[in-house]
Amino acid sequence: MKNEYLLLTPGPLSTSETVREAMLKDWCTWDDEYNKDVVEVIRSKLVKLATQQDGYTSVLMQGSGTASVEATIGSTIDNNGKLLVVDNGAYGARIAQIADYLNIPCHVVSPGETSQPHLNEVETALASDTAITHVAIVHCETTTGMLNPIEAIAALAKQHNKTVILDAMSSFGGIPMDIGELGIDFMISSANKCIQGVPGFGFVIAKQDELEKCKGRARSLSLDLYDQWHCMEANHGKWRFTSPTHTVRAFYQALLELEQEGGIDARHQRYKTNQQTLVEGMRKLGFKPLLSDELHSPIITSFHSPMSDAYEFKRFYAQLKEHGFVIYPGKVSNADCFRIGNIGEVYPEDIQRLIQAVSKSMYWNDNVTAA
Protein backbone atom coordinates (compact mmCIF):
# COMPACT_ATOMS: atom_id res chain seq x y z
CA MET A 1 0.00 0.00 0.00
CA LYS A 2 3.03 2.27 0.11
CA ASN A 3 3.71 4.65 -2.78
CA GLU A 4 7.13 5.10 -4.32
CA TYR A 5 6.67 8.84 -4.65
CA LEU A 6 4.49 11.79 -3.63
CA LEU A 7 2.24 13.32 -6.26
CA LEU A 8 2.82 17.07 -6.02
CA THR A 9 0.04 17.79 -8.47
CA PRO A 10 -3.42 19.37 -8.30
CA GLY A 11 -5.14 15.99 -8.57
CA PRO A 12 -4.96 13.07 -8.80
CA LEU A 13 -2.92 13.53 -5.68
CA SER A 14 -1.30 11.53 -2.92
CA THR A 15 -3.90 9.92 -0.68
CA SER A 16 -3.67 8.32 2.73
CA GLU A 17 -3.15 4.60 3.10
CA THR A 18 -6.54 4.31 4.78
CA VAL A 19 -8.29 5.98 1.82
CA ARG A 20 -6.67 3.45 -0.51
CA GLU A 21 -7.57 0.59 1.82
CA ALA A 22 -11.24 1.64 1.64
CA MET A 23 -11.31 0.44 -1.97
CA LEU A 24 -10.51 -3.17 -1.05
CA LYS A 25 -14.17 -4.18 -0.67
CA ASP A 26 -16.72 -4.67 -3.44
CA TRP A 27 -20.12 -2.96 -3.18
CA CYS A 28 -23.53 -3.56 -4.72
CA THR A 29 -25.01 -0.47 -6.35
CA TRP A 30 -28.54 -1.46 -5.26
CA ASP A 31 -27.72 -2.16 -1.63
CA ASP A 32 -28.90 0.21 1.12
CA GLU A 33 -25.56 -0.23 2.91
CA TYR A 34 -24.00 1.52 -0.07
CA ASN A 35 -26.69 3.99 -1.14
CA LYS A 36 -28.14 5.09 2.21
CA ASP A 37 -25.10 4.66 4.43
CA VAL A 38 -22.42 5.89 2.02
CA VAL A 39 -23.81 7.91 -0.91
CA GLU A 40 -26.49 9.77 1.04
CA VAL A 41 -24.09 10.53 3.89
CA ILE A 42 -21.59 11.91 1.38
CA ARG A 43 -24.25 14.13 -0.18
CA SER A 44 -25.24 15.52 3.21
CA LYS A 45 -21.66 16.09 4.35
CA LEU A 46 -20.81 17.94 1.13
CA VAL A 47 -23.65 20.41 1.59
CA LYS A 48 -22.62 21.08 5.19
CA LEU A 49 -19.03 21.69 4.09
CA ALA A 50 -20.16 24.12 1.39
CA THR A 51 -22.58 26.36 3.29
CA GLN A 52 -24.40 27.02 6.54
CA GLN A 53 -27.43 28.30 4.62
CA ASP A 54 -30.56 26.31 3.89
CA GLY A 55 -31.87 25.45 0.46
CA TYR A 56 -28.82 23.66 -0.98
CA THR A 57 -28.51 20.09 -2.21
CA SER A 58 -25.86 17.98 -3.89
CA VAL A 59 -25.58 15.50 -6.72
CA LEU A 60 -22.73 13.16 -7.64
CA MET A 61 -21.79 12.56 -11.29
CA GLN A 62 -19.69 9.78 -12.79
CA GLY A 63 -16.54 10.76 -14.66
CA SER A 64 -13.86 13.40 -14.43
CA GLY A 65 -14.29 16.86 -13.01
CA THR A 66 -14.76 18.17 -16.53
CA ALA A 67 -17.74 15.84 -16.96
CA SER A 68 -19.42 17.54 -14.00
CA VAL A 69 -18.61 20.96 -15.44
CA GLU A 70 -20.14 19.94 -18.76
CA ALA A 71 -23.18 18.46 -17.01
CA THR A 72 -23.72 21.76 -15.20
CA ILE A 73 -23.24 23.98 -18.25
CA GLY A 74 -25.38 21.72 -20.41
CA SER A 75 -28.18 21.30 -17.86
CA THR A 76 -28.57 24.77 -16.34
CA ILE A 77 -28.66 26.98 -19.44
CA ASP A 78 -31.75 26.73 -21.60
CA ASN A 79 -32.01 27.45 -25.32
CA ASN A 80 -32.55 31.17 -24.66
CA GLY A 81 -29.60 31.53 -22.29
CA LYS A 82 -26.15 33.00 -22.71
CA LEU A 83 -23.02 32.40 -20.65
CA LEU A 84 -20.37 34.87 -19.54
CA VAL A 85 -17.07 33.07 -18.83
CA VAL A 86 -14.00 34.46 -17.10
CA ASP A 87 -11.06 32.88 -18.93
CA ASN A 88 -7.62 33.44 -17.40
CA GLY A 89 -6.33 29.92 -17.84
CA ALA A 90 -6.91 26.51 -19.38
CA TYR A 91 -9.93 25.69 -17.24
CA GLY A 92 -11.82 28.91 -17.90
CA ALA A 93 -11.06 28.34 -21.57
CA ARG A 94 -12.42 24.81 -21.24
CA ILE A 95 -15.76 26.13 -19.96
CA ALA A 96 -15.99 28.36 -23.02
CA GLN A 97 -15.08 25.37 -25.20
CA ILE A 98 -17.85 23.32 -23.60
CA ALA A 99 -20.34 26.11 -24.33
CA ASP A 100 -19.17 26.15 -27.94
CA TYR A 101 -19.61 22.38 -28.28
CA LEU A 102 -23.12 22.66 -26.83
CA ASN A 103 -24.04 25.62 -29.07
CA ILE A 104 -24.55 27.90 -26.09
CA PRO A 105 -23.87 31.59 -26.83
CA CYS A 106 -20.89 32.75 -24.82
CA HIS A 107 -19.23 36.05 -23.91
CA VAL A 108 -15.62 35.51 -22.82
CA VAL A 109 -13.68 37.90 -20.59
CA SER A 110 -9.97 37.13 -21.10
CA PRO A 111 -7.55 39.16 -18.97
CA GLY A 112 -4.62 36.84 -19.75
CA GLU A 113 -3.19 33.89 -17.87
CA THR A 114 -1.22 35.90 -15.34
CA SER A 115 -3.89 38.47 -14.48
CA GLN A 116 -7.07 38.46 -12.47
CA PRO A 117 -10.26 39.50 -14.30
CA HIS A 118 -10.90 43.22 -14.48
CA LEU A 119 -14.12 43.89 -12.62
CA ASN A 120 -15.01 46.85 -14.83
CA GLU A 121 -14.87 44.62 -17.91
CA VAL A 122 -17.21 42.12 -16.28
CA GLU A 123 -19.51 44.94 -15.14
CA THR A 124 -19.59 46.43 -18.65
CA ALA A 125 -20.44 43.09 -20.22
CA LEU A 126 -23.26 42.41 -17.77
CA ALA A 127 -24.70 45.91 -18.15
CA SER A 128 -24.51 46.04 -21.94
CA ASP A 129 -25.51 42.49 -22.87
CA THR A 130 -28.90 41.69 -21.37
CA ALA A 131 -28.91 38.30 -23.13
CA ILE A 132 -26.38 36.99 -20.56
CA THR A 133 -28.16 34.75 -18.06
CA HIS A 134 -25.27 32.87 -16.42
CA VAL A 135 -21.77 33.72 -15.20
CA ALA A 136 -19.05 31.08 -14.78
CA ILE A 137 -15.66 31.48 -13.13
CA VAL A 138 -12.88 29.17 -11.96
CA HIS A 139 -11.91 29.71 -8.31
CA CYS A 140 -8.36 28.37 -8.40
CA GLU A 141 -6.99 28.39 -11.94
CA THR A 142 -4.41 25.61 -11.69
CA THR A 143 -2.89 26.64 -15.02
CA THR A 144 -0.85 29.07 -12.94
CA GLY A 145 -2.01 28.72 -9.34
CA MET A 146 -4.08 31.91 -9.61
CA LEU A 147 -6.80 32.47 -7.03
CA ASN A 148 -9.61 34.43 -8.65
CA PRO A 149 -11.78 37.06 -6.87
CA ILE A 150 -14.96 35.02 -6.72
CA GLU A 151 -16.58 37.21 -4.07
CA ALA A 152 -16.45 40.30 -6.30
CA ILE A 153 -17.46 38.46 -9.48
CA ALA A 154 -20.40 36.74 -7.78
CA ALA A 155 -21.55 40.03 -6.27
CA LEU A 156 -21.53 41.70 -9.70
CA ALA A 157 -23.44 38.81 -11.21
CA LYS A 158 -26.09 38.96 -8.50
CA GLN A 159 -26.47 42.72 -8.93
CA HIS A 160 -27.57 41.89 -12.47
CA ASN A 161 -29.70 38.88 -11.42
CA LYS A 162 -27.50 36.28 -13.11
CA THR A 163 -27.07 32.62 -12.18
CA VAL A 164 -23.56 31.97 -10.86
CA ILE A 165 -21.59 28.82 -11.68
CA LEU A 166 -18.36 28.29 -9.74
CA ASP A 167 -15.73 25.81 -10.81
CA ALA A 168 -14.17 25.08 -7.41
CA MET A 169 -12.51 21.93 -8.69
CA SER A 170 -9.15 22.55 -7.03
CA SER A 171 -10.25 24.68 -4.08
CA PHE A 172 -13.31 23.12 -2.44
CA GLY A 173 -12.27 21.41 0.77
CA GLY A 174 -8.97 23.25 0.89
CA ILE A 175 -10.04 26.91 1.02
CA PRO A 176 -12.77 28.11 3.42
CA MET A 177 -15.87 29.58 1.76
CA ASP A 178 -19.62 29.63 2.21
CA ILE A 179 -21.23 29.40 -1.20
CA GLY A 180 -24.58 30.49 0.23
CA GLU A 181 -23.09 33.73 1.52
CA LEU A 182 -21.36 34.25 -1.82
CA GLY A 183 -24.57 33.74 -3.78
CA ILE A 184 -23.23 30.79 -5.76
CA ASP A 185 -26.01 28.85 -7.47
CA PHE A 186 -23.96 25.87 -8.71
CA MET A 187 -20.54 24.85 -7.37
CA ILE A 188 -18.57 22.04 -9.01
CA SER A 189 -15.69 19.99 -7.66
CA SER A 190 -14.17 16.54 -7.90
CA ALA A 191 -13.39 13.55 -5.68
CA ASN A 192 -9.65 13.64 -6.33
CA LYS A 193 -8.87 17.16 -5.17
CA CYS A 194 -8.80 18.79 -1.71
CA ILE A 195 -11.08 16.23 -0.09
CA GLN A 196 -8.17 13.88 -0.92
CA GLY A 197 -10.11 11.05 -2.54
CA VAL A 198 -9.34 9.24 -5.78
CA PRO A 199 -10.55 9.90 -9.35
CA GLY A 200 -13.88 8.58 -10.58
CA PHE A 201 -16.60 11.13 -9.98
CA GLY A 202 -17.34 14.81 -9.54
CA PHE A 203 -20.09 16.55 -7.64
CA VAL A 204 -22.26 19.63 -7.84
CA ILE A 205 -23.62 21.52 -4.83
CA ALA A 206 -26.56 23.65 -5.92
CA LYS A 207 -29.45 25.76 -4.79
CA GLN A 208 -32.28 23.27 -4.95
CA ASP A 209 -34.79 25.67 -6.46
CA GLU A 210 -32.33 26.49 -9.26
CA LEU A 211 -31.57 22.82 -9.86
CA GLU A 212 -35.27 22.02 -10.09
CA LYS A 213 -35.54 24.54 -12.95
CA CYS A 214 -33.14 22.34 -14.97
CA LYS A 215 -35.69 19.60 -15.64
CA GLY A 216 -35.75 18.86 -19.37
CA ARG A 217 -32.89 21.23 -20.25
CA ALA A 218 -30.00 18.78 -20.52
CA ARG A 219 -28.26 18.37 -23.86
CA SER A 220 -26.98 14.90 -22.92
CA LEU A 221 -28.50 11.74 -21.45
CA SER A 222 -25.59 10.69 -19.23
CA LEU A 223 -24.77 14.28 -18.25
CA ASP A 224 -28.29 15.27 -17.24
CA LEU A 225 -27.68 16.94 -13.88
CA TYR A 226 -31.37 17.19 -12.96
CA ASP A 227 -32.18 13.56 -13.77
CA GLN A 228 -29.17 12.33 -11.78
CA TRP A 229 -30.24 14.44 -8.79
CA HIS A 230 -33.88 13.39 -9.08
CA CYS A 231 -32.90 9.72 -9.18
CA MET A 232 -30.76 10.10 -6.06
CA GLU A 233 -33.53 11.98 -4.28
CA ALA A 234 -36.22 9.46 -5.19
CA ASN A 235 -34.12 6.33 -4.55
CA HIS A 236 -32.09 7.18 -1.44
CA GLY A 237 -28.76 7.74 -3.18
CA LYS A 238 -29.17 5.41 -6.17
CA TRP A 239 -27.26 6.51 -9.27
CA ARG A 240 -29.02 6.32 -12.66
CA PHE A 241 -26.19 4.30 -14.19
CA THR A 242 -23.36 2.22 -12.70
CA SER A 243 -21.64 4.21 -9.98
CA PRO A 244 -17.88 4.11 -9.27
CA THR A 245 -18.42 2.21 -6.02
CA HIS A 246 -14.81 1.83 -4.94
CA THR A 247 -14.07 5.49 -5.58
CA VAL A 248 -17.20 6.54 -3.69
CA ARG A 249 -16.25 4.45 -0.65
CA ALA A 250 -12.73 5.92 -0.71
CA PHE A 251 -14.26 9.41 -0.80
CA TYR A 252 -16.40 8.60 2.23
CA GLN A 253 -13.22 7.68 4.10
CA ALA A 254 -11.52 10.86 2.88
CA LEU A 255 -14.39 12.95 4.25
CA LEU A 256 -13.99 11.31 7.65
CA GLU A 257 -10.27 12.10 7.57
CA LEU A 258 -10.98 15.72 6.69
CA GLU A 259 -13.12 15.92 9.83
CA GLN A 260 -10.38 14.25 11.90
CA GLU A 261 -7.86 16.82 10.66
CA GLY A 262 -10.05 19.64 11.95
CA GLY A 263 -12.11 20.49 8.88
CA ILE A 264 -11.47 22.84 5.99
CA ASP A 265 -9.86 25.55 8.12
CA ALA A 266 -7.19 23.15 9.39
CA ARG A 267 -6.56 21.68 5.96
CA HIS A 268 -6.30 25.15 4.47
CA GLN A 269 -3.67 26.06 7.04
CA ARG A 270 -1.64 22.95 6.17
CA TYR A 271 -1.84 23.67 2.45
CA LYS A 272 -0.93 27.31 3.05
CA THR A 273 2.10 26.31 5.11
CA ASN A 274 3.11 23.84 2.39
CA GLN A 275 2.92 26.55 -0.26
CA GLN A 276 4.83 29.15 1.76
CA THR A 277 7.52 26.59 2.61
CA LEU A 278 7.74 25.68 -1.07
CA VAL A 279 8.11 29.23 -2.37
CA GLU A 280 10.64 30.18 0.28
CA GLY A 281 12.76 27.13 -0.40
CA MET A 282 12.59 27.38 -4.19
CA ARG A 283 13.54 31.06 -4.10
CA LYS A 284 16.63 30.20 -2.06
CA LEU A 285 17.60 27.82 -4.87
CA GLY A 286 17.16 30.59 -7.46
CA PHE A 287 13.71 29.74 -8.82
CA LYS A 288 11.22 32.53 -9.48
CA PRO A 289 7.43 32.08 -9.16
CA LEU A 290 5.41 32.97 -12.24
CA LEU A 291 2.86 35.00 -10.27
CA SER A 292 3.31 37.70 -7.67
CA ASP A 293 2.74 36.48 -4.13
CA GLU A 294 -0.64 38.20 -3.66
CA LEU A 295 -2.10 36.18 -6.54
CA HIS A 296 -0.97 32.78 -5.24
CA SER A 297 -3.38 30.12 -4.07
CA PRO A 298 -2.32 27.49 -1.54
CA ILE A 299 -3.10 24.81 -4.14
CA ILE A 300 -0.35 24.87 -6.78
CA THR A 301 2.50 27.21 -7.73
CA SER A 302 4.08 27.83 -11.13
CA PHE A 303 7.81 28.52 -11.38
CA HIS A 304 9.81 29.89 -14.29
CA SER A 305 12.10 27.30 -15.81
CA PRO A 306 15.85 27.84 -15.28
CA MET A 307 17.50 30.12 -17.84
CA SER A 308 19.93 27.48 -19.03
CA ASP A 309 20.29 25.77 -22.39
CA ALA A 310 21.06 22.57 -20.49
CA TYR A 311 17.70 22.53 -18.69
CA GLU A 312 15.08 20.08 -19.90
CA PHE A 313 11.86 19.52 -17.96
CA LYS A 314 11.69 15.78 -18.70
CA ARG A 315 15.16 15.24 -17.26
CA PHE A 316 14.43 17.39 -14.21
CA TYR A 317 11.13 15.53 -13.73
CA ALA A 318 12.84 12.14 -13.97
CA GLN A 319 15.48 13.04 -11.40
CA LEU A 320 12.90 14.35 -8.94
CA LYS A 321 10.87 11.18 -9.45
CA GLU A 322 13.95 9.13 -8.52
CA HIS A 323 14.07 11.13 -5.29
CA GLY A 324 10.40 10.35 -4.60
CA PHE A 325 8.52 13.37 -5.98
CA VAL A 326 6.35 13.89 -9.08
CA ILE A 327 5.65 17.43 -10.29
CA TYR A 328 3.67 18.92 -13.20
CA PRO A 329 4.79 20.46 -16.48
CA GLY A 330 3.83 24.06 -17.21
CA LYS A 331 0.57 24.94 -18.91
CA VAL A 332 1.00 28.64 -19.61
CA SER A 333 1.07 29.57 -23.30
CA ASN A 334 3.51 32.50 -23.06
CA ALA A 335 6.00 31.33 -20.41
CA ASP A 336 8.33 28.38 -19.95
CA CYS A 337 7.51 27.05 -16.50
CA PHE A 338 6.66 24.04 -14.37
CA ARG A 339 4.20 23.55 -11.51
CA ILE A 340 4.36 22.08 -8.02
CA GLY A 341 1.22 21.24 -6.04
CA ASN A 342 0.81 21.53 -2.29
CA ILE A 343 -2.37 19.53 -1.73
CA GLY A 344 -3.10 15.91 -0.86
CA GLU A 345 -1.55 13.83 1.89
CA VAL A 346 1.46 16.18 1.92
CA TYR A 347 2.94 17.98 4.90
CA PRO A 348 5.53 20.76 5.44
CA GLU A 349 8.25 18.21 6.19
CA ASP A 350 7.54 16.63 2.79
CA ILE A 351 8.02 20.01 1.13
CA GLN A 352 11.31 20.44 2.97
CA ARG A 353 12.44 17.06 1.62
CA LEU A 354 11.35 18.18 -1.83
CA ILE A 355 13.55 21.27 -1.63
CA GLN A 356 16.51 19.05 -0.82
CA ALA A 357 15.64 16.82 -3.78
CA VAL A 358 15.38 19.84 -6.10
CA SER A 359 18.82 20.98 -4.96
CA LYS A 360 20.27 17.55 -5.80
CA SER A 361 18.51 17.51 -9.18
CA MET A 362 19.81 20.83 -10.55
CA TYR A 363 22.09 19.16 -13.08
CA TRP A 364 22.28 22.31 -15.22
CA ASN A 365 24.14 24.13 -12.45
CA ASP A 366 27.87 23.51 -12.77
CA ASN A 367 28.26 23.96 -9.02
CA VAL A 368 25.92 21.08 -8.18
CA THR A 369 26.61 17.42 -8.86
CA ALA A 370 23.66 15.69 -10.46
CA ALA A 371 22.19 12.87 -8.42
Residue 212 pLDDT more than 60?
yes
Q: Note whether 27 and 35 are within 8 A (CB).
A: no
CATH of 17-260, one of 3.90.1150.10, 3.90.470.20, 3.40.640.10, 3.40.50.300: 3.40.640.10
Hey, CA dihedral for 45, 231, 34, 251, is it positive or negative? negative
Q: Note whether 251 and 195 are within 8 A (CB).
A: yes
The average confidence (pLDDT) of the chain is: 95
Residue 224 pLDDT more than 50?
yes
Domain boundaries, the chain: 17-260, 263-361
CA angle at 171 for the pair 166 and 173, rounded to the nearest 5°: 110
Residue 8 pLDDT = 96
d(CA 346, CA 85): 33
Residue 138 pLDDT more than 60?
yes
If 0-12 CB within 10 Å is exposed, 13-18 middle and 19+ buried, where does residue 211 land? buried
d(CA 93, CA 189): 17
Residue 1 pLDDT more than 70?
no
CA angle at 165 for the pair 60 and 261, rounded to the nearest 5°: 55
Residue 370 pLDDT more than 50?
no
What count of other Cβ atoms lies within 10 Å of the Cβ of residue 280? Answer: 11
Residue 30 pLDDT more than 80?
yes
The pLDDT tens digits of the residues spanning 250-306 come to 999 999 999 999 999 999 999 999 999 999 999 999 999 999 999 999 999 999 999
Give the amino acid at 217. Answer: R
CA angle at 226 for the pair 220 and 229, rounded to the nearest 5°: 120
Q: What share of the chain is helix, strand, coil (3-state, %, to 5)?
A: 40, 15, 45
Q: Note whether 7 and 350 are within 8 A (CB).
A: no
The pLDDT tens digits of the residues spanning 53-90 come to 999 999 999 999 999 999 999 999 999 999 999 999 99
Residue 369 pLDDT = 40
Architecture of domain 263-361: Alpha-Beta Complex (3.90)
339 annotated as belonging to a binding site for a ligand: yes
Residue 366 pLDDT = 65
d(CA 191, CA 255): 10
